[in-house]
């Protein structure tokens, strides 16, 4: 929760559309910024309230960068999971609409119009940058979604991962989760990945920390 409990004039507070809960702009900026930079779509911070925050209203206190991140989240949420297509180019992973899609049956221009499978057959040895990326992923214990090849890093929490493509799997071994249940015998979490002082950490958030939370999505084939 993000309540500073300071006395604030009513007309100088932010009012959430729909539920009409009020918070000071400082608390709203902190709440919204932390959620966005952790890959989540922020909602009203009032306990038990699920009212959506509107971009036009949040622009009053968000930086241009955070506003753009929020727009991307809204765009992603508006597209069904099965219809989402992401750019497979390393260090891009941008979400594309159907009119922007450059992929056809997994054929991409930088593979000279051959599928990834055919490309791998013709080029068994990875390019230097691909080898470095894979080495980096191995060093940092990143995991790759077996459905869409998106690279995922566990920052905190349990081993139950849900990729942006909707595929659920165990971060520890890669086994698929089915019907919200694990198909492996791995533990659900590691105590080292659990944060017990999250609220204290979030209170330290400011504009200069944006780069610490926001990471480029990585993929390789």
Within 55-104, where are the H helices? 55-58, 64-77
Which long-range contacts does 91-96 make (Cβ < 8 Å, 24+ apart)? 91/216, 91/217, 91/218, 92/217, 93/150, 93/216, 93/217, 93/218, 93/219
**Sign of the CA dihedral with 108 first, then 110, 115, and 116 last:** negative
The active-site residue out of 19, 116, 158, 186 is 158
Active-site residue flag, 44: no
Question: How far apart are the C-alpha atoms of 42 and 186, rounded to whole Å?
Answer: 31
Q: What positions carry a catalytic annotation?
A: 158
């Amino acid at each position: 929760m993000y309540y500073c409990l300071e006395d604030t004039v009513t007309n100088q507070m932010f009012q959430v559309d729909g539920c009409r809960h009020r918070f000071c702009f400082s608390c709203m900026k902190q709440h919204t910024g932390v959620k966005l930079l952790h890959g989540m779509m922020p909602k009203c911070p009032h306990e038990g309230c699920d009212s959506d925050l509107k971009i036009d209203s949040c622009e009053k206190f968000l930086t241009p960068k955070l506003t753009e991140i929020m727009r991307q989240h809204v765009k992603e949420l508006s597209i069904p999971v099965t219809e989402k297509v992401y750019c497979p180019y390393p260090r891009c992973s941008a979400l594309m609409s159907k009119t922007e899609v450059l992929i056809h049956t997994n054929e991409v221009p930088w593979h000279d119009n051959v599928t990834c499978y055919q490309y791998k057959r013709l080029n068994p040895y990875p390019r230097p940058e691909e080898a470095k990326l894979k080495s980096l992923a191995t060093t940092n214990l990143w995991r790759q979604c077996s459905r869409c090849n998106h690279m995922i890093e566990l920052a905190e929490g349990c081993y139950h991962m849900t990729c942006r493509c909707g595929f659920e799997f165990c971060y520890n071994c890669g086994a698929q989760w089915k019907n919200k249940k694990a198909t492996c015998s791995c533990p659900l979490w590691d105590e080292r990945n659990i944060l017990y002082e999250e609220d204290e950490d979030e209170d330290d958030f400011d504009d200069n920390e944006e780069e610490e939370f926001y990471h480029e999505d990585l993929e390789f084939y």
